[in-house]
Amino acid sequence: MPIGTDTDTNTDTGKPQWQHRTPRSRLMLWFGWLALVALTVYCWQVMTEGTIWAFVADAPRQAADIGGRMFPPRWEYIDTLWLPLWDTINIATLGTLLGIVFAVPVAFLAARNTTPSAAFVRPVALFIIVASRSINSLIWALLLVSIIGPGLLAGIVAIGLRSIGFIAKLLYEAIEETDANQIEAVTATGASKAQVLDYAIVPQVLPSFFGISVFRWDINIRESTILGLVGAGGIGLELQASLNVLAWPQVTLIILVILATVVVSEWVSAKVRHAII
């Protein structure tokens, strides 16, 4: 039951005709809005229970204070940033590769038309995907640093774990959307399941697969920059260190470097995805 209104362009006069909402749907719509507003106000009150409004009022002054200390950025500091930046890119790239390695089989197990068992295997694969997607890479990093210690490996595995869900979800949707005719034809020649996969399904999903992977790599660069905050290596470590000693000019420089990296990686990813299509 559509709750919206209906705009029809009457071609004779060019004037849109507005269909009346029925009184009932009008009431429901009004009620819906009311519920939403009530919910929001309630949440606001609960949320700001502990807020010290004096701090909030003080914020502009604080901002000006910090802002003054943040500029000018400490440009010389950039020499110490090159190695962490290289680390960050490696975390993102190696992590993406790790994610791809696991995401591909999971995607095939999750797709309705390629899963070996719709009752048992598919739900497990779908759960793996949801679990991986629900947990932010920073949380994964937190866990891994606690388990295997700080360093790049924790970051790489964290990025990998997060990427599995993202890549597998988009990939299995692409697999389910493949043209059934092509698959039927290859099956009719007497091909085995593996051959059908190789000749009929893989060629169809290959372009999507590359697009998805490059897209995830771009997002991973963004996420890798801050993993160091919890000790997982990369430029985030420098950020954490600078924040701890309140060295604001350094913080500014690091933020600028992160911004630049993100912009470059987005440009690269857009170019590569354009070239694939």
Partner 1 sequence: MSDANATTGTNAEPRIWKRPPVLIRDPRWRIAIYGGAVVYLILAIASVEVNWVRVYDGLERGWNFIYGFLAPDFTSRWTDISQGLIESLTMTVTSTVVGVLISVPIGIGAARNLAPKPIYLACRAIIALSRALQEIIVAILFVAMFGFGPFAGFLTLSFATIGFLAKLLAEDIEDIDEAQAEAIRATGASWWQLVNFAIQPQVMPRLIGLSLYRLDINFRESAVIGIVGAGGIGATLNTAIDRYEFDSAGAILLIIIAIVMVAEYSSSYVRKWVQ
Partner 2 sequence: MLRVEGLSKTYRTGDKALSDVSFTVPAGQVVGLIGPSGAGKSTLIRCVNRLVEPTSGAVYLGDLNITGMSQRSLRRARRRIGMIFQEYALVERLTVMENVLSGRLGYVPFWRSFTRRFSAKDIDKAFGLLDRVGLADQADKRADALSGGQRQRVGIARALEQDPELLLIDEPTASLDPKTSRQIMRLLVEICNESGLPAIINIHDVLLAQQFTERIIGLQAGVVVFDGPSEDLDDSVLTRIYGEEDWTAMHRKAGKDDEEDQDEDEDGREQEERLAGLV
Footprint of partner 1 on this chain (CB under 8 A)?
1-5, 7, 9, 14-16, 36, 39-40, 43-44, 46-48, 50-52, 55-56, 59, 62-63, 66, 86-87, 90, 93-94, 130-131, 133-136, 138-139, 142-143, 146-149, 151-153, 156, 206, 222-223, 225-226, 229-230, 239, 243, 255, 258-259, 262-263
Q: Classify burial at 17, counting beta carbons within 10 Å of its beta carbon; exposed 0-12, middle 13-18, buried 19 or more.
A: exposed
Residue 186 interacts, among partner 1, partner 2, none and using kind-specific CB cut-offs from 5 to 8 Å, with partner 2
Q: Which of 213, 227, 21 is nearest to 103 (CA)?
A: 213
* Cα dihedral 120/124/126/131 (nearest 10): 160
Residue 113 sits at φ, ψ, to 5 deg, of -90, -5
Residue 225 interacts, among partner 1, partner 2, none and using kind-specific CB cut-offs from 5 to 8 Å, with partner 1
The CB-of-45 to partner 2 minimum distance in angstroms stands at: 55
Q: Give 58 or 179: the residue with its C-beta nearer to partner 1.
A: 58
Q: Which position among 66, 135, 186, 268 is part of the footprint of partner 2 (CB under 8 A)?
A: 186
Q: Which of 60, 61, 100 is nearest to 214 (CA)?
A: 100
Residues 188-207 that bind partner 2 (CB under 8 A): 188-192, 194-195, 198-200, 203-204, 206-207
Q: Give 185 or 272: the residue with its C-beta nearer to partner 2.
A: 185
